[in-house]
Chains A and B, each alone.
Chain A
Amino acid sequence: MAAGHSLADDLRSTAARHGDRPAVIDAVVTLTYAELDRIAQHVCDALRGLGVQSGDAVVWHGAKSSLAVAAVHGILRSGAGYVPVDPDGPPARAELIVGRCRPRALVADTTAREQWRTVAPDLRWQPLPTGYEEAGPLWCAIPDAAPRDRLANLAYVLHTSGSTGLPKGVVHTHASASAFVDWSVGELGLTEHDVIVNSAPLHFDPTILHLFGAARVGAAVALMPASAAPFPAAYVDFCRQVGGTVWYAVTSTLVWLTRRGRDLLPGLRSLRAAVVGGEVLQPGDVNTLFAALPAVRLLNVYGPTESNVCTFHEIRGPQPADAVIPIGRVLPGAEITVVDERLEQVEPGRTGRLLVRGTMLMEGYLDPEQTARAFVRTPDGRSWYASGDLVRENPAGDLEFVGREDAQIKSRGFRVELGEIERHLRALDAVHECVAVATPDPVFSNLITAFVTADRPDDVRPLPELLRTRLPHYMIPRHLVLVADGLPRNANGKVDRKALAELAARPSLAETPGLTLIR
Chain B
Amino acid sequence: MAEDVVLRAVVAAVREVAPGAEIVDDTPLIAHRIVDSLSLLSLVSLLEKELSVTIRDSEILPAHFESPLAIRAFLRTKGC
Query: Which residues on A are within 8 Å of B, measured CB to CB?
Result: 88, 226-234, 252-253, 256, 260-264, 411-412, 443-444, 447, 463-468, 473-474, 476-480, 518-519
Contact = CB atoms under 8 A, between A and B. Distances in A.
26 contacts: A227-B62, A228-B62, A230-B36, A231-B60, A231-B61, A231-B62, A233-B57, A233-B60, A252-B37, A253-B37, A256-B41, A260-B44, A260-B57, A262-B57, A263-B58, A412-B37, A412-B38, A443-B41, A444-B38, A463-B20, A466-B20, A473-B33, A476-B20, A478-B19, A478-B42, A479-B19
Contacts of A252: 37
Nearest to B17: A478
Interface of B: 15-16, 19-21, 30-31, 33, 35-38, 40-42, 44, 57-58, 60-62, 65
A179 to B, nearest CB: 31
Nearest to A467: B20
B32 to A, nearest CB: 9
Contacts of A226: 33
Nearest to A477: B19
Given A227-B30, A412-B38, A443-B41, A233 B58 contact: yes
Contacts, number: 73
B20 A464 contact: yes
Contact of B31 (A227, A260, A466): A227
Contact of B37 (A230, A478, A519): A230
A229 B36 CA distance: 8
A232 B57 contact: yes
Given A233-B60, A233-B61, A263-B58, A474 B31 contact: no
A231 B37 CA distance: 7
Contacts of B60: 231-233, 260
Contacts of A230: 30, 35-37, 40
B20 A229 contact: no
Given A519-B15, A519-B16, A519-B19, A474 B36 contact: yes
B58 A88 contact: no
B42 to A, nearest CB: 8
Given A261-B57, A263-B57, A229 B19 contact: no
A473 B62 contact: no
Contacts of B19: 464, 476-480, 518-519
A329 B62 CA distance: 40
A463 B33 CA distance: 19
Contacts of A447: 38
A289 to B, nearest CB: 15
Contacts of A518: 19
Contacts of A88: 33
Given A264-B57, A480-B19, A231 B40 contact: yes
A478 B36 CA distance: 13
Contacts of A227: 30-31, 62
Given A227-B31, A233-B58, A233-B60, A260 B20 contact: no
B30 A234 contact: no
Contacts of B62: 227-228, 231, 234
B59 to A, nearest CB: 8
A379 to B, nearest CB: 44
B64 to A, nearest CB: 9
Nearest to A466: B20
A463 B41 CA distance: 24
B11 to A, nearest CB: 12
